Amino acid sequence: MLNLKTLAGRLFQLVFGWYVLLAIVVTGIQLGLEYSSIRTAISAELIALERTFSPSVADALWNYDQALLDSLAKGIAQTAIITGVKVENSYGRIVTSEGRIPGSDEQNPDNRWVPSQKHEVALLSASQLAEQHNKLTFGKMVLYSDRNVVLDRIKYSFLVILINSLVKAAGLWLIFYWAITWSLSRPLTELANSISSLSLKSDDDEPVLIDYPHRDEIGVLVASLNDMRIRLSASHRVLEQKVAERTQELEAANHRLEVLSSTDGLTGIANRRRFDEVLVIEWKRALRSRRPLTLLMLDVDLFKKFNDSYGHQAGDECLRNVAKVLRASFRRTSDLAARYGGEEFALIAADTDASSAKHLAEVIRGAIESLGQAHAESPYEKVTVSIGVATLTPEKAQQPENLIHMADDALYRAKNQGRNCVVLAAEDSSSQGLNTP
């Protein structure tokens, strides 16, 4: 059943409502015309009756045969369309009458809607009728027919018109219902269902278009929706590509930021912040695996005097050269070289025992010395480093700071032993603090 709240229902209600209103107006006009036509036909019948009965009535009135006049009046009154009849003499006196004689207010011949209509005829004798001249009227006959006669005749016509209108209304109702349901409501419902079932996520390659075979207004709407869907899908792909590009750029920027935040700007190796993070990570790993962890602390010998003698630019270059040597000495990717502060450097070497650690430190010391960078204030007349080495297998009661204290203490002893040397920290120094001069 058609839902009157839908667009198709409202359209059906509007169209069929206007049709019913128009049908009522047309039916009313048809009944009015039929009413007027029947009144005209009755007038014609009254004239025919007058021509039939007026000679007999005229003779009876001429001969003043009252019985015949009464009989004729009764016979005329029994005619189907006659509701009243009267005969008057030349003095206007009613000689005979039969049936209902309406009042003067019901006898306006110019008004088609008065209750009664009449036909009046002058009565002439037979001899006068034969003559064409000198005609004398000695009376008149008036025939009456009221509205009931018209209504009796119009009943059939009204019934035919009513049945015709009802059949048309029922037929057009079915046509409207079928046309609106199948040509408007159903296509719109299918279109709405098709649109609701579509998703941009399913259009990875090409958008799924709505299929509508007819080239009507709904077809134009479907074509517009398909065009919009194609453009929307293209925009969606462009947006996804831009989002992917921006994501990559953001990831790259984050990576660069992370590198910058963990890299020393002068030497290009890890900074103190990164050193602290990696030391904690490697300490926990060594604690779980019960493997040794080594830390090398390096200090450029007499660096302040080098700076004073050669300038800060030469000092920066010296630090960069030390960093290059440290970076080249990595044995595995997990090793980390960092600038600990000023002219002091550190190197973390996981899973490295004491002998290997001391050997690695000697290699680094020798490589820096072999650079041969002049240092007039040094007893070795070149740039050298002192290295403190600490190797420890972590215990639960210990902290990474213990390893730092051991390496720092060994570095202090290396400086006290004349610099440009490597000193290995004793394990019993892991619980002691850093000794400072």
**Sign of the Cα pseudo-torsion (58, 61, 65, 69, in order):** positive
DSSP single-letter state for residue 373: -
Dihedral angle of Cα 34, 40, 43, 49, to the nearest 10 degrees: -80
Residue burial 150-166, b: 16+ Cβ < 10 Å; e: rest: beebbeebbeebeeebe
343 among known catalytic residues: yes
Report helix, strand and coil shares of the chain as percent, to nearest 5.
60, 15, 25
Contact 319, 340 (CB under 8 A): no
Question: Which residues are CB-neighbours of 403 under 8 A, at least 6 positions away?
Answer: 279, 283, 293, 295, 390, 392, 394, 430
Q: How many CB atoms lie within 10 A of CB 423?
A: 23
DSSP string, 51-72: HHHHHHHHHHHHTT-HHHHHHH
Phi, psi of 145 (to 5 degrees): -145, 125
DSSP single-letter state for residue 98: E
Q: How far apart are CA 350 and CA 327, in angstroms?
A: 15
Report the phi/psi class of residue 31: left, alpha or beta, with left for phi > 0 and alpha for psi in -120 to 50.
Answer: alpha
Q: How many CB atoms lie within 10 A of CB 6?
A: 15
Span between the terminal Cα atoms of the chain, in Å: 102
Catalytic residue among 343, 369, 377, 395: 343
Extract the tokens encoding 54: 């007026």
Helix axes 354-369, 312-328, angle to 10 degrees: 140
The catalytic residue positions are 343
